[in-house]
C-alpha cells in the first residue's frame, strides 16, 4: 500500500513540477466553464437575454363572449404575450406580409390564427353533457329532476347539461356522433329505490373518444362530489359511486375536430431556437386560455416558411463538419514541436531543403488529413439524417473544397504561430485545447449562435472560424450559391485572417526552428 501511495505521489509531482502542464490543467477547465457561463448568461452584461421578434397574424373574424371569457380575445392574448421579457410581437395583416418580413430578417418566426379560432375556444370552453335519467323507480323523498336542476345551477360556468328521459337517452346514445356532447351522465336503474333503502347506488359516465384521462377524472370527481353532497343534505345515507365498469368510452364515437394555430419558421432558424419559441408560446397560450381545470385542447402546427423542415443534424452539420478538422491543429503542433525537439530542422538546414518547402509540405499534408476528416464526418452524419440543402451540386462541391482549403490554411497558420509558444510536444498536445475550445464553442460549431447573448454574438462575429461556419451554412443549409455576396464575404474574411496569421506564423516559426 505504501508503494502505491509513493507512485501516486510521484505521478502527481510530475504534473505539478512542470509549470506549463500545471497551467494547462487549470486553464482548460477555467476557460471551458467561463465560456459556458458567458454563452448561457452566467455573467450579467445586461444583454444576455435574447429578444425574439415574432410576427402575429390574426385572421379570425369571429368573437368569443368577452364578458364571460375575456381570455379568449386574441387581441388580449397579444397584449399579454407582448409584455413577456424576451418576446417582441409584431402585427401583420397577412401570411404573405409576415413571410416577407421573415425573409428580410425582421422577425424570427410568426404565428397564424385561422378563421373561427375564438369561436372554437368559446365552443370548447364548456363540457356538454347529456343527462340521461334511466331510472324507472320512484321515491317520495328524492327527485332526479331536482338533482338535475341543482347540477345545472352549480356548474353553469363549466358544464352545459341537457336532460333526457329513458327513451330519449337511449336514442342519443345509439346515435352519439350526431350530437355535440362530450359525454353522457346516466342515472342507473333503481337509483331512487336505493336512496330510500339506504343502499349504495351508482351512476354511469360514458365519454367521447379523444377525452383525456385527466379531464375524465375531473368530470367524474365533480359529479360524484356534487351528487353525494346534494343527497346527503336531504338526509340520504347511501354512497353514490361511478364504478369502473360504468365509466368507459362510447364505442365508435369520434373525437371532436380541433382548430390549430400555426407557427412558421425559416429553415435557417436552428431547431434549438425553434423549440424555445414553440415552447414559450404553447405554455403562454395555455396559461392564458385555460384558467379552469377543464382544459381546452390547443393543438398547433409547425411549418417551414420556405423549403423543407430542417432536422437538428442538418442544421448543425456545418459546425460539426468543422470540428473534426480542427483537431488537426493539435496534431500539427505536436509534429512541428516534435521535429524541433528531435533536431530534424537542424539536420534539414544542412541540406538543400528550403524553409518554404518545409512550410508547403506541412500545408499539403494537413490539407489531405483535413479533407479526410471532413469526408468521414459527412459520411457518418449522412447515416443519421444529414440532408444538405444546396443551390446546386456543383456549387456545393466547389464551395466545400474552397472553404475547407481555406480552413486548412487557417489551421496551419495557427500551428506555425503557436509552435514557438508551446515549444515542446507535451505542452503543445494539451495546451492547444486552450485555443481549440474557445474557437469551437464561441464560433457556433457546437452551440447555435442564436442562443448567445448579444455580447457573445458580437465577439463570435469576428472569429475566423465563424467565417468558415457561416460559409458552410450558406452552402449546405441556406441553399445559397457559391457566388452569393454573403458567402464570398465570409470566404474573403477567412482568407484575410489566415494570411495575416500565416505571415506572423512564418516569421515566428523561422526563429523557432533555428
Distance, in Å, from the CA atom of 287 to the CA atom of 264, rounded to the nearest integer, reads 21
Residues 479/388, Cβ–Cβ less than 8 Å? no
Q: Under CATH, which architecture does the 126-249 domain have?
A: 3-Layer(aba) Sandwich (3.40)
Distance of CA 435 to the CA centre of its chain: 29
Per CATH, 52-116+259-304 and 126-249 having the same topology is answered: yes
**What mean pLDDT do residues 144-171 have?**
92
pLDDT band of residue 45 (cuts 50, 70, 90) is: very low
How far are the Cα atoms of 25, 36, 415, 420, 422 from residue 431, in angstroms, in the given order?
Answer: 9, 19, 12, 12, 7
Q: Give the helix/strand (H/E) hosting 58.
A: strand 52-58
- Residue 42 is predicted with a pLDDT of 44
Residue 44: predicted pLDDT = 44
Which range, 204-213, 320-329, 365-374, is most confident?
Answer: 204-213
Residue 110 backbone class (left: φ over 0; alpha: ψ -120 to 50; beta: rest): beta
| Residue 209 pLDDT | 93
Mean pLDDT estimate for the chain? 84
Contact 73, 18 (CB under 8 A): no
379-420 tens-digit pLDDT: 998 898 888 988 899 999 999 999 999 998 888 888 888 888
C-alpha cell of residue 97: 406580409
Which tops the pLDDT comparison, 485 or 266?
Answer: 485
Rounded Cα–Cα distance for residues 493 and 111 (Å): 37
Identify the weakest region by mean pLDDT among 36-50, 162-176, 236-250: 36-50
| The pLDDT of residue 47 | 47
User: What CATH number does the domain located at 52-116+259-304 have?
Assistant: 3.40.1710.10
Per-residue model confidence as pLDDT tens digits over 444-462: 887 777 777 777 788 888 8
> Higher confidence at residue 146 or residue 46?
146
Q: By the 8 A CB rule, do 386 and 428 touch? A: no
pLDDT interval class at 313 (50, 70, 90): confident
Cell 458567458 maps to which residue? 38
Domains of the chain by residue range: 52-116+259-304, 126-249, 312-512
- Res. 147: pLDDT tops 90: yes
Q: What is the DSSP letter of 72?
A: G
Out of 84-98, 162-176, 375-389, 452-466, which region has the weakest mean confidence (pLDDT)? 452-466
pLDDT greater than 70 at residue 346: no
The Cα–Cα gap between 311 and 3 comes to 55
Region 71-96: mean pLDDT is 91
Mean of pLDDT values over 22-51: 57
Q: What is the pLDDT of residue 241?
A: 95
Tracing cell 415552447 back to the chain, one arrives at 279
From residue 492, give the alpha-carbon distance in Å to each of 213, 323, 402, 444. Answer: 60, 21, 11, 19
Q: Tell me, what's the pLDDT at 353?
A: 66
- Name all contacts of 411-414 with Cβ < 8 Å and 24+ positions apart: 411/325, 411/326, 411/328, 411/329, 411/332, 411/366, 411/370, 412/332, 412/362, 412/363, 412/366, 412/502, 412/505, 413/498, 413/499, 413/501, 413/502, 413/504, 413/505, 414/329, 414/501, 414/505
> Model confidence over 249-299: pLDDT tens digits?
999 999 988 899 999 998 778 777 888 889 889 888 988 888 666 678 888
Confidence (pTM): 0.63
Report whether pLDDT(65) > 90.
no
CA distance 481 to 428: 39
The mean per-residue pLDDT over the stretch 127-136 comes to 94
Q: What digits encode the pLDDT tens for the residues 109-130? A: 999 999 999 999 988 888 999 9
- What is the grid cell recorded at 383? 447515416
The proportion of the chain whose per-residue pLDDT surpasses 90, expressed as a percent, equals 42
Mean pLDDT of 27-51: 57
As a whole-number percent, the residues of the chain with pLDDT over 70 amount to 85
Angle at 183 between CA 178 and CA 189, to 5 degrees: 110
- Separation CA 472–CA 190 (nearest Å): 76
193 has a pLDDT exceeding 90: yes
pLDDT score of 20: 59
Tally of CB atoms within 10 A around 10 = 9
Comparing 55-64, 190-199, 368-377, the range with the smallest average pLDDT is 368-377
Judged against a pLDDT cut of 70, whether residue 12 lies above it is answered with no
Is pLDDT of 67 > 90? no
Using CB atoms within 10 Å of the CB of residue 329, give its burial: 0 to 12 exposed, 13 to 18 middle, 19+ buried. Answer: buried
DSSP per-residue codes, 436-479: HHHHHHHTTSSS-GGGS-HHHHHHHTT-HHHHHHHHHHHHHTS-
pLDDT score of 199: 92
- Model confidence at 46, pLDDT cuts 50, 70, 90, reads very low
Length of the chain: 514
Amino acid at each position: 500500500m505504501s508503494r502505491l501511495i509513493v507512485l501516486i505521489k510521484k505521478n502527481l509531482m510530475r504534473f505539478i513540477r512542470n509549470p506549463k502542464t500545471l497551467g494547462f490543467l487549470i486553464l482548460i477547465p477555467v476557460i471551458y466553464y467561463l465560456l459556458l457561463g458567458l454563452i448561457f448568461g452566467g455573467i450579467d452584461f445586461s444583454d444576455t437575454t435574447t429578444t425574439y421578434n415574432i410576427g402575429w397574424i390574426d385572421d379570425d373574424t369571429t368573437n368569443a363572449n368577452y364578458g364571460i371569457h375575456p381570455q379568449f380575445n386574441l387581441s388580449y392574448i397579444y397584449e399579454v404575450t407582448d409584455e413577456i421579457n424576451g418576446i417582441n410581437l409584431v402585427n401583420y395583416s397577412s401570411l404573405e406580409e409576415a413571410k416577407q418580413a421573415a425573409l428580410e430578417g425582421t422577425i424570427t418566426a410568426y404565428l397564424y390564427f385561422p378563421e373561427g379560432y375564438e369561436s372554437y375556444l368559446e365552443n370548447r370552453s364548456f363540457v356538454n353533457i347529456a343527462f340521461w335519467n334511466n331510472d324507472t323507480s320512484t321515491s317520495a323523498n328524492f327527485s332526479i329532476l331536482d338533482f338535475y336542476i341543482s347540477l345545472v345551477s352549480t356548474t353553469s360556468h363549466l358544464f352545459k347539461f341537457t336532460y333526457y328521459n329513458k327513451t330519449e337517452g337511449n336514442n342519443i346514445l345509439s346515435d352519439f356522433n350526431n350530437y355535440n356532447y362530450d359525454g353522457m351522465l346516466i342515472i342507473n336503474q333503481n337509483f331512487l329505490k336505493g336512496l330510500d333503502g339506504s343502499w349504495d347506488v351508482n351512476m354511469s359516465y360514458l365519454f367521447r373518444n379523444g377525452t383525456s384521462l385527466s379531464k375524465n377524472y375531473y368530470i367524474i370527481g365533480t359529479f360524484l362530489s356534487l351528487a353525494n353532497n346534494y343527497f346527503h343534505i336531504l338526509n340520504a345515507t347511501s354512497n353514490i359511486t361511478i364504478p369502473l365498469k360504468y365509466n368507459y368510452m362510447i364505442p365508435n364515437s369520434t373525437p371532436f375536430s380541433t382548430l390549430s394555430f400555426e407557427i412558421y419558421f425559416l429553415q435557417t432558424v436552428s431547431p434549438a431556437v425553434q423549440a424555445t419559441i414553440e415552447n414559450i408560446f404553447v405554455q403562454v397560450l395555455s396559461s392564458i386560455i385555460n384558467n379552469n381545470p377543464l382544459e381546452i385542447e390547443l393543438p398547433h402546427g409547425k411549418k417551414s416558411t420556405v423549403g423543407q423542415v430542417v432536422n437538428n443534424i442538418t442544421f448543425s452539420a456545418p459546425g460539426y463538419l468543422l470540428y473534426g478538422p480542427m483537431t488537426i491543429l493539435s496534431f500539427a503542433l505536436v509534429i512541428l514541436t516534435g521535429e524541433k525537439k528531435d533536431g530534424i530542422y537542424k539536420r534539414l538546414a544542412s541540406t538543400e531543403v528550403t524553409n518554404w518547402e518545409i512550410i508547403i509540405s506541412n500545408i499539403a499534408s494537413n490539407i489531405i488529413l483535413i479533407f479526410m476528416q471532413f469526408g468521414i464526418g459527412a459520411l457518418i452524419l449522412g447515416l443519421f439524417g444529414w440532408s444538405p440543402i444546396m443551390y446546386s451540386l456543383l456549387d456545393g462541391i466547389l464551395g466545400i473544397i474552397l472553404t475547407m482549403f481555406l480552413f486548412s490554411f487557417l489551421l496551419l497558420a495557427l500551428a506555425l504561430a503557436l509552435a514557438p509558444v508551446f515549444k515542446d510536444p507535451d505542452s503543445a498536445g494539451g495546451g492547444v485545447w486552450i485555443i481549440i475550445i474557445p474557437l469551437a464553442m464561441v464560433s457556433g460549431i457546437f452551440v447555435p449562435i442564436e442562443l448567445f447573448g448579444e455580447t457573445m454574438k458580437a465577439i463570435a462575429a469576428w472569429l475566423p472560424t465563424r467565417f468558415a461556419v457561416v460559409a458552410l451554412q450558406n452552402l449546405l443549409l441556406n441553399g445559397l450559391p457559391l457566388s452569393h455576396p454573403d458567402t464570398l464575404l465570409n470566404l474573403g474574411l477567412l482568407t484575410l485572417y489566415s494570411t495575416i496569421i500565416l505571415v506572423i506564423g512564418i516569421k515566428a516559426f523561422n526563429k523557432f526552428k533555428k
